[in-house]
Structure formats: C-alpha cells, structure tokens
Structure 1
Amino acid sequence: MTIRPLATMAEHRRAVDRLLDRFHSLPPGQPVRLAKRSSNLYRPRQRHRGATLDVRGLDRVLSIDPATRTAEVEGMATYETIADATLAAGLLPSVVLDCKTITIGGGVAGTGAESSSFRGGLPHDSVTEMDILTGDGRILTATGDNEYADLFRAMPHSYGSLGYAVRLRVRLEPAKPYVRLRYVRAYSTDEWVAQLRRVDADREFEGAPVDFIDGVYFAPSELYLVLGTFSDTAPYVSDYVRGIYYRAIRTRREDYLTTRDYLWRWDTDLYWTSSLFGLENPILRRLWPSRFRNAETFRRLQMWFRSGGATDRVWAALGRPVEWVLQDADLPVETVPEFLEFFRREVGISPVWLCPMRLREPATLYPIAPGRLFVSVGFWWPLRLRPGQAADHHNRLIEAEITELGGHKPLYSTAHYTEDEFWEQYGGDAYWKLKAAYDPGGRFPDLYAKCVRGR
C-alpha cells in the first residue's frame, strides 16, 4: 500500500482554474461529459459526440484534520485513496463504498450503501460542503444551509446531470486496525429480518458492539447476517485475495481481517461475479495476476462482453438469449421477505447481497424518509430468456415489484422505466426546477436521458 501525498489547496485551485478555462472555451450549447480514469456504471452508453472535461487531476486528498475529524478531498479521489490516507490517521469516512475505484464525487452523485450504512447513512450523509461545477459554468460552494442548499440536497442521485463536485468536506470517525466478523445464520427470511432488527436496535450482538452489518441470501432457508466490530488486535487475519470471501460466510462462524482488507472484501471478486470468468477454479485463480483481481477489471470485462450486443447476439444464435440483471433494490426492511420470495419465484439468481441502510439527511432526488431502515438488495448475473420473453423481461418485473413495495432503485445500471414512470419516482417537477436554475442550457444530459437512454 502506497499512501499518496496530500495535495495543497494552491494545487487544487490551479486544477479547478484549468477545468473552468476548458469549460468556457467550449462552444455554447455543446454537450459536455467528463473524461476520467474509471467508471462504476453498469449501463451501456451511446457514443459521446460532444466535448469532454478532463477531471483526472482532481483526484487527491487535500487535508485531514484529526481534531475536527474532517477531510477535504477532490471529487475524483477514489475511496481507496481516501481510506488509505485517513486510516493512517486512525480515521475513516462514515461510509466507504465497496469498490476501490468508486470516486467520492461519484458516490455522492450516484448514492450507494455499505455495511456501515445502517448507522452512517449513504455517502452524502457524511459530506458537509461541496464545491460544484454547474452546467452554466459556475463553481458554487453548497452546504445544507446556505443559498445553494437546494443544489446540495439534490446532488445525491443526480448522476452528474446538475453538476460535478470538485471538492468535498467529509466527516470522519475513529477506526481501528482490525475488524472481527461474525457470520450468523438464519433459516428463513423472516428470521433474518428479525435478527437484523434486534441488532440494529441494540447496536450489539452477544455482548459485543456492532459497527458493520451486511448479509447474504443463498436460499430461502440459508441466509447470513455478517456482523463486524472494530478491534485493536486480531489472533489471525484471513486473506481473501487468495481465498474467496463469500464462501467463508457459509463455512466459518468467525473471522478477522485488517480494516483495509475488510473495506475491500467484496472488491477482490466483485462479490461473486468473478466466477463468470472462471476465477473460482483454483488453477485459473493462481494464474490470474492479483493486480487484475478487482472490481474495476471485472466491470470492464463485463461491459466489453456486452458492448454493441455482440455477446448477446452470439448467445441468441446458439439458442440461448440472455438478459443481464445487474441491479440493486432499496426496500423497506419489512418488505424484504416478500421481495425475496418474488425474486426466487420469478428471477432465481443467488447469491443475493443484503445491506441494511438508512438516510440521515434528506435527498431530493432519492426520496427515502430519513431514519427509516431499508435494505439494499443486490443481484448481478446474466439470465437465460425463455422463448417469447422480451429482452428486458426480468428487469421490468423487478422494477415493478420495487415500486409496488415502496422501494427505490439506484440508477448505476440499466433502467427500463417509461419517462412518466421515471419522473414520478425520481424528482419530477423538483428536478426540472433545479435543472433550470443550474444547467439552463442543458450542457449535461438530464437524468432520464443519462440513466435510461444512456446518453
């Protein structure tokens, strides 16, 4: 692990000035897209014919203040970069998303949950201030209580359609060197929810505090609650670069990881999707270079297979047409058993990730009530289509069920809503008022164009 040196505010201001110069040099009305090193989106995009803004230089940590437990970071700083820098000071953001290359600006604009989200909220909940490049070419400093509070509250789930954060101030919390894990089995979805409610209310399990909660559904009678507790010491540490993390959940009752390895436990195999490329085969796993055993590599491979529909056409020609189902469903906790029964019956993918979450602060474009316990249900796999089924058959069923159960769907992957369905759930009139205020010329694609039409 190499910790990058902190950047100075003077270096940051020069990078922002270059960004603004580039933006204002573009012809008025020309569509704009960011040029950056990586992406964590799973939706195909149309070829961009407009201009690009190179934001790859805005990827550093600017300062860490242990006294106030805050950090100043640039918008394209990855969670790996931020976590490495803050862990060196014994601190972490309240929520660190699951893949190393997710940027904090992307995490705020796209939302997301991780195992601290039952207490820490979503990425925007730990952000107190943002400098935002808006579609009309301004850099605005937005907080929850200043003149740009409407923009501040609308950044979560805006996916860059209103603006891009170039600097963020983030609250931090104390961290310890290790995490102790306990794998608690449930024999039904109702039992899993009941266990979760008890642990969430008590913030402890069998006398030990609980700092992290997530879980995995393998079958209706085999689910696990994974409980993590910060620790100063560890009798041993497991290695899930060589091993396969999700398999350990089924075979062990307790585990220890370094805190850094805990943060990236799902990154190594992108949960279990590395098996699409044969990496659960011990021989191939040893031969595959460890530096390419990460979520970014597997995402790129998946998107390459899907690009242009070439792989889909091959499978169709072989009589095996497939539909990619790569989604999350954020659901009220009490509806999880009903959703998982629907999912078992109509979709049939397993394993399924289960991550408790609650918002701490309102988010205009992702209207989940703050304080209410939800569960993010994640499922990622290609499904074979039966004769007569539409190409988006399963995704449309899932979207309808999420709506029926009072949930919401993050838009990092494909969405299939009609325009009316979409705006009813994702901001509607409020969104268009914000768009008129901060991007009146439409330099950035609107939310529907970007997240459904792939622009």
Structure 2
Amino acid sequence: MKLYIVRYIKLSYIPVNSLDEATTRITKESRKNPGHDFVEGIMYSLNKGVIMVGSFTPKAEPTKINPVARWYKKSFYKHVQDLSQSAPTVEYIPLRDYYHRHTYGAFWTLEILVPYANMPVMRWLFGWTATSETNWYKLIPAFFRQFSEKNVVLQDFIVPIGKAKMALEFFHKQVEIYPVWLCPSKSFNEPGFFKFDENPDTMQLDIGIYGVPKNLDDYELVKSNKIYEQKFNSLIAPVQLESPHIYADTFLSRDEFYEMFDPTLYNKVRKQLNCEDAFPDVYEKISARI
C-alpha cells in the first residue's frame, strides 16, 4: 500500500454552451465510477457555464500551478468565467487554495456591496481583507445592510439531479440571477432529516442562488421566497431547502416547512438529550422574522 502526501487538486474546466449540455455533463461526471473527488459547476447564463472536475494528486506540472486563493488574484468565479470562452483546460491548484477558492468575497456576493472588489488595484492593496468572515459586514452602513437584506436572494435548493434543468429554468424565469452555483451530492437511504423518493440512493444537485434579482420591481422578500419554496415542494418534490446553513432563511410556516423533511429521528434525539427546552429546533433557527 502506497501512502503519499496530497498537495494539489488537478482541476479540469469544461465549458458548456447550452442548458442541456450543462445538466447532461454534470450528471455524467457526478455518476462516473470510479468517480472524481470533486465536481461543481458555475452557470453564467441559462446557456453558458463551466463544469469542473477535480482529483487529489501529489504532483503537478509546474507551468500549470495556480494558487487561486492568493489575495491579489481575481475571484475564483471570475477566473472560471474567463476560461468559459476557451477549450477545456487543466490546472493544478494547491490544496488549501482549492478549499478556499470561494472564500474571497464569499462566492460573488461581495460585489453586491463593493462593486469594485475585483479591480486589480483593489485586490492588490485590500484583497487580504475580503475574507468570508462576517466581522467586516458590521462596518457597512445600516442603509446598505438593509438593502442587502431586503433585495438579495441567498438560498440553496437541493433537487434530484434529473430535475436540474426544470429547476434552473424556473429560477431563470423568476429572478434571472447569475452566476448560479451547482454542487452535486449523493443521498443515502439512511434515517435522517431528508425525505426520499421511490429511489433513495440517487444523486442530488445543490443549486445556489446568490444575488440581486434582475427585475427588483417583481421581487418581494417574503412573498417571492415563499413562492420559491412552495414551488419546489409541490412540483419538484422531493426537495430539500438547505436548512443547516443559517444564511438560508425559510419563509414557510412550520407545517409547510416540515412537509419537505422527516423530523422523526431529529425530534427523538432532541427529546432523549433533553434539548427541547434548552435549544431552538431547526425551523426556529432559520425562520425569517420579518
């Protein structure tokens, strides 16, 4: 048995030029056996994006090493967007840089409040300050924070990967926010919070929607988010709103929320550990109080 130190991720960038190509490619790469260590995608429009597949490797071609998380580097999604216009490309990314590829500017949300965040001078002089820490957020004037809280969509939805096209078309019609993050994950038929369909051992796709809707006149914080959740619950079921992340609020009632989940085991453990009176449950943690 050979042991080696993993130092890099060998990352392949695969441009896609249609929604069908994007959903077909990410499904194919996610289901490969043996599979990749990492698979993700970024869509820059309904028909343009990049699918990325990565594998651990102890060595790298020196001319293809790219430490993407350096403070002076442009945001990772901007780098990927540049590659969307080229042929498939391979880079070797140092392991720590890969894990922090979306740290600078918290994916692409920093530019909502700081539009010049990706200017070369800004990155070189102040790039080291733009981490994913939320402390800097407290320094932003209240007016801008209120704008962000009322007009920015920050939601993740998990859908069966076979229904990814339907989900992406729905969000394009509702908010037309880009980029959109795509992250596949495997579901397992084991007790837990997730509700399974008739074929539980399936591949799911996390769709990350982070940004300002193209037409703000049609967006209303509570009403619009409730429509998104109800639409997914009724038409694309089974669907899981990614509730463990505290940035993703839910605007549903408690009964509506738990239609998407199976809290049986969760409630049993809370009762066994005497948590019911000590800690709020998942719904109370993420229920938006507007």
Residues 322 and 385 of structure 1 are in contact (CA less than 8 Å); yes or no, is this contact kept in structure 2? no
Residues 10 and 91 of structure 2 are in contact (CA less than 8 Å); yes or no, is this contact kept in structure 1? yes
- Quick one: structure 1 residues 342 and 305, their matched pair in 2 at CA, closer, same or farther if it must change by over 3 Å? farther
Residue matched to 2:86: none
For 1:435 and 1:215, the matched residues in 2 are separated by 36
TM-score by length of 1: 0.53
Deviation at 1:409, TM superposition (A): 0.6
Residue matched to 1:263: 99
Which residue of 184, 187, 193 maps to 1:365?
Answer: 193
Q: Deviations over 1:362-393 (max 9, x none)?
A: 25222346521011111212446317x53323
- Quick one: structure 1 residues 226 and 303, their matched pair in 2 at CA, closer, same or farther if it must change by over 3 Å? farther
Give structure 2 stretches of 5+ with no counterpart: 84-88
Please state if 1:195 is matched with 2:25.
yes
- Quick one: structure 1 residues 215 and 367, their matched pair in 2 at CA, closer, same or farther if it must change by over 3 Å? same
Deviation at 1:405, TM superposition (A): 0.7
Which residue of 58, 65, 69 maps to 1:232?
Answer: 58
TM-score by length of 2: 0.80
Residue matched to 2:132: 295
Which residue of 326, 333, 341 maps to 2:161?
Answer: 333
For 1:351 and 1:438, the matched residues in 2 are separated by 42
Q: Which secondary structure state, in structure 1, belongs to the residue aligned with residue 284 of structure 2?
A: helix
Q: Which secondary structure state, in structure 2, belongs to the residue aligned with residue 202 of structure 1?
A: coil
For 2:149 and 2:161, the matched residues in 1 are separated by 34
Deviation at 1:293, TM superposition (A): 2.8
- Matches for 1:256-405 after TM superposition, within 5 Å: 256-276=92-112, 277=114, 278-290=116-128, 292-296=129-133, 299-302=134-137, 310-311=143-144, 315=147, 322-360=150-188, 362-368=190-196, 370-383=200-213, 385-386=216-217, 390-403=220-233, 404-405=235-236
Which amino acid in structure 2 is aligned with residue 420 of structure 1?
D
Residues 323 and 392 of structure 1 are in contact (CA less than 8 Å); yes or no, is this contact kept in structure 2? no
Residue matched to 1:19: none
Residue matched to 1:20: none
Q: Deviations over 1:312-354 (max 9, x none)?
A: 65x5xxxx99422111111101111111111111111100110
Q: Which secondary structure state, in structure 2, belongs to the residue aligned with residue 218 of structure 1?
A: strand
Q: Which secondary structure state, in structure 2, belongs to the residue aligned with residue 182 of structure 1?
A: strand
Residue matched to 1:449: 284
- Quick one: structure 1 residues 440 and 322, their matched pair in 2 at CA, closer, same or farther if it must change by over 3 Å? closer
- Matches for 1:74-223 after TM superposition, within 5 Å: 176-203=6-33, 210-223=36-49
Which amino acid in structure 2 is aligned with residue 380 of structure 1?
Y
- Quick one: structure 1 residues 322 and 261, their matched pair in 2 at CA, closer, same or farther if it must change by over 3 Å? same
Residue matched to 1:418: 253
Q: Which secondary structure state, in structure 2, belongs to the residue aligned with residue 439 of structure 1?
A: coil
Give structure 1 stretches of 5+ with no counterpart: 1-88, 91-174
Residues 213 and 228 of structure 1 are in contact (CA less than 8 Å); yes or no, is this contact kept in structure 2? yes
Which amino acid in structure 2 is aligned with residue 285 of structure 1?
R
Please state if 1:248 is matched with 2:79.
yes
Residues 203 and 211 of structure 1 are in contact (CA less than 8 Å); yes or no, is this contact kept in structure 2? no
Which amino acid in structure 1 is aligned with residue 82 of structure 2?
T
- Quick one: structure 1 residues 332 and 310, their matched pair in 2 at CA, closer, same or farther if it must change by over 3 Å? same
Q: Deviations over 1:383-428 (max 9, x none)?
A: 46317x5332332222123212121111222110112101222335
Q: Which secondary structure state, in structure 2, belongs to the residue aligned with residue 425 of structure 1?
A: coil
For 1:197 and 1:182, the matched residues in 2 are separated by 16
For 1:390 and 1:366, the matched residues in 2 are separated by 29
Residues 67 and 94 of structure 2 are in contact (CA less than 8 Å); yes or no, is this contact kept in structure 1? no
Deviation at 1:226, TM superposition (A): 0.2
- Quick one: structure 1 residues 401 and 232, their matched pair in 2 at CA, closer, same or farther if it must change by over 3 Å? same
Q: Which secondary structure state, in structure 1, belongs to the residue aligned with residue 55 of structure 2?
A: strand
- Quick one: structure 1 residues 432 and 259, their matched pair in 2 at CA, closer, same or farther if it must change by over 3 Å? closer
Residues 104 and 130 of structure 2 are in contact (CA less than 8 Å); yes or no, is this contact kept in structure 1? yes
Which amino acid in structure 2 is aligned with residue 349 of structure 1?
I
Aligned length: 269
Residues 189 and 337 of structure 1 are in contact (CA less than 8 Å); yes or no, is this contact kept in structure 2? yes
Residues 44 and 81 of structure 2 are in contact (CA less than 8 Å); yes or no, is this contact kept in structure 1? no
Q: Which secondary structure state, in structure 2, belongs to the residue aligned with residue 356 of structure 1?
A: strand
- Quick one: structure 1 residues 305 and 394, their matched pair in 2 at CA, closer, same or farther if it must change by over 3 Å? farther
For 2:92 and 2:272, the matched residues in 1 are separated by 50
Deviation at 1:197, TM superposition (A): 3.0
For 2:188 and 2:26, the matched residues in 1 are separated by 19
Q: Which secondary structure state, in structure 1, belongs to the residue aligned with residue 221 of structure 2?
A: coil
For 1:422 and 1:321, the matched residues in 2 are separated by 21
Q: Which secondary structure state, in structure 1, belongs to the residue aligned with residue 56 of structure 2?
A: strand
Which amino acid in structure 1 is aligned with residue 20 of structure 2?
D
Runs (4 or more) in structure 1 with deviation over 6 Å come to: none
Which amino acid in structure 2 is aligned with residue 418 of structure 1?
S
Q: Which secondary structure state, in structure 2, belongs to the residue aligned with residue 329 of structure 1?
A: strand
For 2:180 and 2:38, the matched residues in 1 are separated by 18
Residues 234 and 256 of structure 1 are in contact (CA less than 8 Å); yes or no, is this contact kept in structure 2? yes
Residues 105 and 132 of structure 2 are in contact (CA less than 8 Å); yes or no, is this contact kept in structure 1? yes
